[in-house]
Amino acid sequence: MSMHITNPRIYTVPSDSDSESDYEDYKIYTPKTRFLSQQQESQLIKLGCVYNPVEEYKRSHLYKNPKVYDQQFASKMQQHQLKLKNEIDQMLAQKRQRQQEELNKMKAMLSAMTVLSSKDDQDDDKAFEEELKKQRALIDDAIALDKKKSENATAEAEAKAKAKAEKEKKEQEEKEKKEQQAKELKEKKAQQLEMQKIAQSSAVSPQGLEEYKKYFEKIEFYKANIRPKLQNDVFRKQCFQAKLVIKRTVSQLQADHKVVAEKFNTLNNHLLGIKQQSPEAFEYMLNQLAKFLLAQAKQEIHATAFAAYFLARFAYLMFSSIPEFLPYLMGRLMKRCPYLIPQYHDDDPSLSHDEIKSRLRYAIKNKEKKTLETFLEHAEGQKCYVMFYGALCQTLPDSGQPENPFPIKHAWIWLARICNMPPREITPILVNGLLEVSAIRLLQAYPNQTAKLFRLIRETICPLYPISSGQENVAGIKRLEMFLDDYFRTGQPECVPEKLPPSV
């Protein structure tokens, strides 16, 4: 085994030789770990440089005879362990004996106590059970009484709460009833004031306004119930595909009655098929048909006046077969042409000139500059709608076709309403438009009244028509006067022919 030197400061013995420097002779030397022999270790121990008792013991005993040492040590250790075990076993046996003796004493004492107190315990148990029964009976009676009181209190509280709730409900109902009555009375008064205002106003026909509101309820129904469904991609795609058929059919209408009947049958079957698949899509198609038909009317009648006849015939066939189409068509028509109510919107002093034009449906010519169409452009466009309206009223069914649900009396009513109102600059242009397409049927339906009305218009109303600032309505006034003069001269009004004359 290696021996480490514990005192590294070992000084070398100075030599007898002369040296220039004593530092080299007396310098401290720190040796590395070395392995020493037994003799060297003994000398170092004597010098006091190392000391290790274990190594000393091994050197003096183990190194001399290690085998003998191991056997003696193991034998002594075994004897010691055996002795120690015997002592522990004796101590445990003595402890268990003492515990058993104490347990026996306690059992004897418990047995003696049980014999002495068994009789007293039986009596005590019986008395305790009887007392327990009495206490339980008292407790049950108290619980039952409390339960009954609680039930009675709950029932009484519920009855009071119910009576209070009924009273509050009755009071609330009476309050709501009074509020509703007050609200209805207020609305009725407001409506009466509005009706009085309308009746006194010279800018709107009260009866025409009520008729328009009735038609427009269908448009409001569409806005509230059908339009939101277009957010659904499937529904919108279905409507888009079906809408193309309507637009194509309307654009293909011609003056020939056979073509009109053919296109009607095609579109009628198309719409009825959609109605079976989806009532919502059917309502959407009726609204789109009204829009397409009115757009086509404004465009074609402005170009060729006789287009009013075949477009009106197609519309008559459609709402004869599908009654739900009529309110869509008339609601949209009167919205685009408020003069069909008639309503001029010039009775409200709070409205500006531009706001009045907006309500009269002046179209925007330039969106960037926000310029509106001129008076004459507006009048010609509105005249197209009036001509379509007059053509619709005067349409007679062909053989085998149903009766017209919107007959000539509506043209007479409109003519009477607008003649009973103070004339405006646009009025002669609109009146002339209606007479150009429906004067013949008016004379056939009401020969005496129509002739008198024509005389009234020519002699009394025409001189009252105001001239516009740019004199744009002068030609319209002259055309109306010439139309009536020709009728009085010939006895036959010269209406727009239903077809163009054949080219020579």
We report the CATH number of the domain holding residue 249 as: 1.25.40.510
pLDDT at 267 over 80: yes
Q: Is residue 220 predicted with pLDDT exceeding 90?
A: yes
pLDDT of 32 strictly over 70: no
In angstroms, the CA 251 to CA 246 distance is 9
Task: Please determine, for residue 357, whether its predicted confidence score (pLDDT) is greater than 70.
Answer: yes
Please state, in angstroms and rounded to a whole number, the distance separating the CA atoms of residues 427 and 462.
10
Would you tell me the crossing angle of helices 427-445 and 375-394 to the nearest 10 degrees?
A: 10
State the pLDDT at residue 13. 47
Amino acid type, 180: Q
Q: Which of the pair, 83 or 322, is modelled with greater confidence?
A: 322
Task: Please tell me the predicted confidence (pLDDT) of residue 504.
Answer: 38
Q: How far apart are CA 425 and CA 431, in angstroms?
A: 11
Of 199-208, 209-218, 307-316, 462-471, the range with the lowest mean pLDDT is 199-208
Q: What percent of the chain has pLDDT over 70?
A: 80
What percentage of the chain reaches a pLDDT higher than 90? Answer: 53
Average pLDDT over residues 308-329: 97
For residue 190, pLDDT beyond 80: no
Q: CB–CB of 3/57 below 8 Å?
A: no
Mean pLDDT for all residues in the chain: 84
| Structural domain contains residue 289 | yes
Q: What is the mean pLDDT of residues 223-249?
A: 91
pLDDT tens digits along 68-108: 556 766 787 888 888 888 888 888 888 888 888 888 888 88
Proportion of the chain in helix, strand, coil states, percent, rounded to 5: 75, 0, 25
Whole-angstrom Cα distance, residue 337 to residue 329?
12
Residue 394 lies in a domain: yes
State the greatest distance between any 2 C-alpha atoms of the chain, in Å, as a whole number.
175
Amino acid 338: pLDDT: 97
Reported as a pLDDT band with limits 50, 70 and 90, residue 20 is very low
Q: Which of 333, 336, 334, 340 is nearest to 315 (CA)?
A: 333
- Residues with Cβ within 8 Å of residue 191, at least 6 apart in sequence: none
Residue 26 pLDDT > 70: no
Does residue 49 surpass a pLDDT of 60? no
Q: Element (H or E) spanning 312, and its range?
A: helix 307-321
| pLDDT for res 325 | 97
408, HSE (Cβ side, Cα atoms, 13 Å)? 17
pLDDT band at residue 34, thresholds of 50, 70 and 90? low
Eight-class DSSP state of 364: E
The pLDDT, as a whole number, for residue 398 is: 93
Give the model's confidence band at 149: pLDDT under 50 very low, under 70 low, under 90 confident, else very high: confident
| Amino acid at the residue 207 | Q
Range of the domain at 236: 206-490
pLDDT attached to residue 64 = 55
In a domain, 306, yes or no: yes
> Which pLDDT score, from 0 to 100, does residue 500 have?
67
On whether the CB atoms of residues 284 and 226 are closer than 8 A, the answer is yes
Strand partners, 29: 10
The answer to whether position 163 is within a domain reads no
- H or E element: which one contains 259? helix 257-277
Name the pLDDT band for 192 (thresholds 50, 70, 90).
low
Look at residue 110 and tell me if it is in a domain. Answer: no
Q: How far apart are CA 104 and CA 91, in angstroms?
A: 20
Looking at the 3D structure of the chain, how many domains does it have? Answer: 1
In a domain, 221, yes or no: yes
Is residue 50 within 8 Å of 5, Cβ to Cβ?
A: yes
- For residues 424 and 176, the model is more confident at 424
What is the pTM (predicted TM-score) of this model? 0.63
Least confident range from 166-170, 183-187, 188-192: namely 188-192
Residue 232 lies in a domain: yes
Measured CA distances, 42 to 51, 57, 63, 313 (Å): 10, 13, 14, 143
More reliable by pLDDT, 44 or 33: 44
Q: Give a yes or no: residue 116 inside a domain.
A: no
